[in-house]
Amino acid sequence: MKLTQGMQVLYSGGITTVPDEIVKQYQPGDQLVVLQGTGEVLRIPREQHDLVDAAVTRAYAAFQALGDVPDAAIDRFYDELAARLTDDQIWSRIAEANAADVERARARGRSTTRLVASDKMRQDMIQGLKDWRNTPSLRDRVIDTITHPGWKVEQVLSGLGVVGFVFEGRPNVFADATGVLRSGNTTVMRIGSDALGTAKAIVAHALEPALAAAGLPEGCVVLIESPEHSAGWALFSHPKLGLAVARGSGRAVDQLGSIARQAGVPVSLHGTGGAWIIADETADAEEFRLALFHSLDRKVCNTVNTVCIPQARAGDLVPALLAALRERGEKLGHGYKLHVVEGSEEFVPAELFQTKAKMLRAGGEAEELVAEKIASDRMGHEWEWEQTPEVTLRVVRDVDEAVAHFNAQSPQFVASLITKSEEAYARFFRIVNAPFVGNGFTRWVDGQYALRRPELGLSNWQFGRLFGRGGILTGDGVYTIRLRVTQTDPNVHR
């Protein structure tokens, strides 16, 4: 195929034009993907497609071989990988690679909040592997039996196949992603370019030696060693993928989800993050303050992002909100930022709209107003912050109004109601459209923390409710159901 300047192509929404940059870069063997929802044209270079195809082919062959591997070998793999991450000599090599990744990311003005391979991250990875080691295998589990005269039908859980992951730059994803082995799957991963050096060190010094020591098929876990986004596009469109999982948020996840759906690959997406905390008129001010304080320890997807307070309680709950922000900001070494939805300004001290303070951003410190007004249609905007807690405030009539805003504007992810009424909390669960609902802090939303199973991904409902599974996708939740018939009477016929 030859591309020409101004070339137009059809898509579901009409006609789109191939960008001049893609026309110039295109080489024979490259692939073009047109996103049917937006008309955006993406180019997958031939070398990226071939790199991904080789990785998926290896993982698919490993999946077929894994069916004849005993669970004891998978158990041993988790033991072996945990032991290597525990070994200080091995970890020092990983830490050295991570330090180089962090330095490069900072030089580019990138956020390093999730990139640093801290001791806590290391311990969480080790614990996650131990949790997988102790999780009962689902392979060949019979979940239902239907008996007929002379024969029976069993519904049996089996591995789904190759699971493709695209992760943001977080080194701990290996412990999470290897959970798919527990249910008889294999995996191919592409990690964000910021953490690629760390990922390669983990593979070389810990992961591949652990796979070999356990006797698992080569290719059970494959890292795509490419910093190119197009490698992720090639992975999510591969026909041999059983499931595509994207962790992260924003436009990149939207792109990946569209690509997978167009290719007919089942997909698990996170999408936009940001939790909401809503108070009702019975809320205890101190419990409200604590819920906020404990939901702001660091910026991740389940950090509180938007707060709704009933007007009848603004007098004491707004000061409680400000106290939580101030206390957490001081604990993190910086101030705080408050975005006030238009119409709620009168409930916030006027001086905060004129006071400036230093805020830590990915690119360094910046002086900004402590409080700023935002439009009412921006309540669901996710704030990305570095050591400077940042939330949106709206004063509402009641919980019903807050829930209406949540259902309309939020990413439909995490919702928490601070109330003294059990009845109000039960009703809140019924009417709020969120997969994760609580009555306190929001940071509980995590597979390892809540379920003692490292998560493969968290999914919100901004793309619609999930079919047949919960919002926390874990390794033992990736399976298919096969039917096995045992016939005892050879004369059975239809």
Domain segments of the chain as ranges? 8-44, 52-271+471-482, 275-449
Q: Which residues of 50-82 are buried (b: 16+ CB within 10 A; e: fewer)?
A: ebbeebbbbbbebbeebeebeeebbbbbbbbbb
Does CATH number 3.40.605.10 belong to domain 52-271+471-482?
yes
Confidence of residue 251 (pLDDT cuts 50, 70, 90): confident
pLDDT, position 219: 96
pLDDT at 83: 98
| Res. 334: pLDDT tops 90 | no
Residue 99's pLDDT is 95
Nearest Cα to Cα of residue 263 among 240, 239, 292: 239
- Structure-token match 């493709």, residue found: 164
| Contact criterion met (CB below 8 Å) for 209 and 84 | yes
Query: Is the pLDDT assigned to residue 275 strictly greater than 80?
Result: yes
380 three-state secondary structure: coil
Residues 380-412 pLDDT 10s:
999 999 899 999 999 999 999 999 999 999 999
Instruction: Give pLDDT tens digits for 37-74.
Output: 899 999 999 999 999 999 999 999 999 999 999 999 99
364 falls in which pLDDT band (50, 70, 90)?
Answer: confident
Q: What pLDDT is stored for residue 470 in this prediction? A: 84
pLDDT-above-90 percentage for the chain: 79
Whether 363 shows a pLDDT value over 90: the answer reads: no
CB count within 10 Å of CB 376 equals: 12
Mapping DSSP to helix (H, G, I), strand (E, B) and coil, where does residue 464 land?
Answer: coil
Band (pLDDT 50/70/90 cuts) for residue 489 is very high
The confidence score (pLDDT) of residue 33 equals: 94
Q: Note the pLDDT tens digit of each residue in 214-225.
A: 999 999 999 999
* Closest C-alpha among 492, 494, 493, 453 to residue 472: 453
pLDDT band at 447 (very low <50, low <70, confident <90, very high): confident
Let me know the angle formed at the C-alpha of 78 by 456 and 248, rounded to the nearest 5 degrees.
20
State mean pLDDT over 256-266: 93
Hey, what CATH topology would domain 275-449 get?
A: Aldehyde Dehydrogenase; Chain A, domain 2 (3.40.309)
> Would the pLDDT of 469 be above 90?
no
| pLDDT at residue 362, as a whole number | 78
Q: What does the mean pLDDT of the chain come to?
A: 93
Mean pLDDT of 66-94: 97
Question: What is the pLDDT averaged over residues 193-203?
Answer: 94
pLDDT for the residue numbered 181: 95
Residues in the chain: 494
pLDDT confidence of 459, banded at 50, 70, 90?
confident
- Hey, is 237 helix, strand or coil? coil
pLDDT at 192 > cutoff 90: no
pLDDT over threshold 80, residue 269: yes
Q: If we measure between CA atoms, which residue out of 354, 347, 260 comes closest to residue 308?
A: 347
Confidence of residue 338 (pLDDT cuts 50, 70, 90): very high
